[in-house]
Chains A and B, each alone.
Chain A
């Protein structure tokens, strides 16, 4: 009987026994990311274990390293909330002096990356440390109980952006940290999603193999914070891609004029010019993504807010150099 090779290593670095919530999309992201990293290390250095992790305070940190237990099978260090990038810089420098082969993986959530840790991230990227920074983006401060971050999307309910008589929920568009990272002209920047795990694995491997800094921003679902069904995480993440809410792209060497946009799927029509995506006509309305999440429930009573969201998404794609058509749901 023929045995198929698994699409990714069966080695575990983020092991079972962690304390993440049921249905946690970020746990999936970390599990895949470390597996991909290990494969890249094996291919690059001949040693699948040639990496260490420096992680910011956050939900994925507290659920994976509860003394005296650990979910980490890789060497791992946590220092504080805002300094994963700085701590990783130190680890990388030490490894260089120790003559140790391998690469450092820094991990932070959206709060620890887009907000309080942005300065340390910028410093680390600018100094060209040989570190991959993985931002797992569940779009709010989930560690402290669902407060808005600068990565929270427009319209979302959080405990500090509650909808009310004078509030639509979060009233600012999402901050796109991947583009800020790209402005450092580093070798590799990508967005990814647990809704497209093979693409995510490919990007993590690519990031791990470049010489110099790389940044990957992966959207991962949070059933607790998004008020979404436990079993629908991957489906919701996939819908974010297929409705245009979450663009998948790669930027190499800071060349934002050569941004590589991935086709979203879901029946979307993609127009290319010289191999470059210039327009996308999405077929699925963003409502399909929104309706599965309690955090957007209030918007359905104010459809004009969803239109505002559509305009913001178009504006965001415009920055990426793509004209998009976002359909309204059929009546």
Chain B
């Protein structure tokens, strides 16, 4: 029987790792995800997880050791955040290019400067072009579930790409919620044992991994990562369906909330989706036709689902905790790409908010709503809006 425990997202991530039974974990402590390696250390120390835990001297070495272990053919896991993920940046490309299904749990945190340990998504968003799959959790249960799903998808032969699962710093990493821990036997059935077919360092079958690719081959290797990202879309749907069947919790690449007959649909990711659903309820009570949508899978970007969503609204209002200079937020860029050749598309308004852990309140969302209403009314509107900015200290 599954058990329910009250825990932080960091603990949920550690539990997911325990359930997935990786053979090698390499990690370096970083706020806010430090509790993940701490908890895993306890599991290993108590013999509850039979894994080698390499206490590396940096995140760069953490991911490098994961690449080494994954290249040797074992399931591999690590956790990090912010600067730590940025330090891994170089090797993230390599893990994807070598098609190694490593999974990273990321406590989403802002990047320096100024140094800031609180939540936004700039760390993982900045890694969107590495080739890694990206999932975002709304709550602690999702943090656990999505890590299991990430392993399933990453290791699928049609995909073979590394995956990261983000959950918001402090809002989730340090907040306790009830989380259902699935049965080990069911997880074992769901994931199966990882049997590498392309990456192993076996003296009986010597292979060369990580070779030099001349111009004659490099582009094809990158295309392989592109193709695998595309293939992952179907594999993710299958994994979600199987997960729902086994564990009873439903996931979708884009989860919609009260989008029926909506004029304005707010779109966001991570824990902000929880706030947003409350906000939509609050507006619906007032008779406003608004809905919410949550991006659970950010890479591969769910282009088809975005096009379906776009059919339902006159305005798509994107709420983003990241900045892409000259663009707005990264979602704005992604939505623009998905809809650029679509006729009768809704207007898209972009909102940058909650950076560096700033609270996102109903008041902030009211501000976004007013601008979205202008767009709905056909009035002039700013495409990119910084919400909650303290103009008095600028």
* Residue positions of A touching B, CB distance < 8 A: 47, 49-52, 54, 61-62, 65-68, 70, 72-80, 82-83, 85-98, 100, 102, 119-120, 122-123, 126-127
Question: A97–B211 contact, CB under 8 A?
Answer: no
Which of A68, A72, A87 has the most B CB atoms < 10 Å from its CB?
A87
Known contacts A52-B201, A90-B24: does B69 contact A120 (CB below 8 Å)? no
* Residue positions of B touching A, CB distance < 8 A: 23-24, 26, 50-52, 54-58, 60-62, 64-74, 76, 90-91, 94, 98, 200-214, 217
Question: A91–B201 contact, CB under 8 A?
Answer: yes
Known contacts A52-B72, A54-B68, A98-B74: does B61 contact A78 (CB below 8 Å)? no
A38: nearest chain-B partner, CB-CB: B203
Which of A50, A90, A123 has the most B CB atoms < 10 Å from its CB?
A90
Q: Which of A72, A75, A83 contacts B64 (CB 8 A)?
A: A83
Q: Return chain A residues, CB-CB under 8 Å to B200.
A: 75
Q: Which of A61, A72, A82, A100 contacts B206 (CB 8 A)?
A: A72
Question: B69–A119 contact, CB under 8 A?
Answer: no
Q: Return chain B residues, CB-CB under 8 Å to A72.
A: 206, 208
Complex Cα–Cα for A96 and B54 (A) = 12
Question: B23–A97 contact, CB under 8 A?
Answer: yes
Complex Cα–Cα for A97 and B214 (A) = 35
A204 to chain B: closest CB distance in Å? 17
Main secondary structure of the interface of B (DSSP, over half): mixed
Question: B211–A86 contact, CB under 8 A?
Answer: no
Q: Return chain A residues, CB-CB under 8 Å to B50.
A: 97
Complex Cα–Cα for A62 and B208 (A) = 12
Which of B58, B200, B203 has the most A CB atoms < 10 Å from its CB?
B203
Question: A75–B24 contact, CB under 8 A?
Answer: no
Complex Cα–Cα for A96 and B65 (A) = 14
Question: B55–A62 contact, CB under 8 A?
Answer: no
Q: Which of B51, B64, B90, B208 contacts A87 (CB 8 A)?
A: B64
Question: A86–B68 contact, CB under 8 A?
Answer: yes
B210: nearest chain-A partner, CB-CB: A78
Known contacts A79-B67, A87-B64, A89-B54: does B208 contact A70 (CB below 8 Å)? yes
Known contacts A65-B212, A78-B211: does B206 contact A122 (CB below 8 Å)? no
Question: A86–B69 contact, CB under 8 A?
Answer: no
Question: B56–A123 contact, CB under 8 A?
Answer: yes
B57: nearest chain-A partner, CB-CB: A123
A31 to chain B: closest CB distance in Å? 16
Question: B26–A95 contact, CB under 8 A?
Answer: no
Complex Cα–Cα for A89 and B211 (A) = 19
B341 to chain A: closest CB distance in Å? 36
Which of B26, B50, B61 has the most A CB atoms < 10 Å from its CB?
B61
B299 to chain A: closest CB distance in Å? 22
Question: A66–B214 contact, CB under 8 A?
Answer: yes
B222 to chain A: closest CB distance in Å? 13
Known contacts A65-B211, A80-B94, A98-B74: does B203 contact A93 (CB below 8 Å)? no
Question: B26–A89 contact, CB under 8 A?
Answer: yes
Complex Cα–Cα for A73 and B214 (A) = 21
Q: Which of A76, A93, A123 contacts B52 (CB 8 A)?
A: A93
Question: B69–A94 contact, CB under 8 A?
Answer: yes
Question: A123–B212 contact, CB under 8 A?
Answer: no
Q: Return chain B residues, CB-CB under 8 Å to A47.
A: 203
Q: Return chain A residues, CB-CB under 8 Å to B57.
A: 119-120, 122-123, 126
Q: Return chain A residues, CB-CB under 8 Å to B23.
A: 93-94, 97-98
Q: Return chain B residues, CB-CB under 8 Å to A80.
A: 64, 90-91, 94
Complex Cα–Cα for A73 and B205 (A) = 9
Question: B217–A68 contact, CB under 8 A?
Answer: yes
Q: Could you jot down 18 A-B contacts, CB within 8 Å?
A: A50-B203, A61-B212, A67-B211, A78-B211, A80-B90, A87-B71, A88-B68, A89-B68, A90-B67, A90-B71, A90-B72, A91-B69, A93-B26, A94-B23, A94-B74, A95-B201, A98-B23, A123-B57
Complex Cα–Cα for A79 and B94 (A) = 7
Complex Cα–Cα for A74 and B204 (A) = 9
Complex Cα–Cα for A47 and B202 (A) = 13
Known contacts A67-B217, A75-B203, A78-B211: does B64 contact A98 (CB below 8 Å)? no
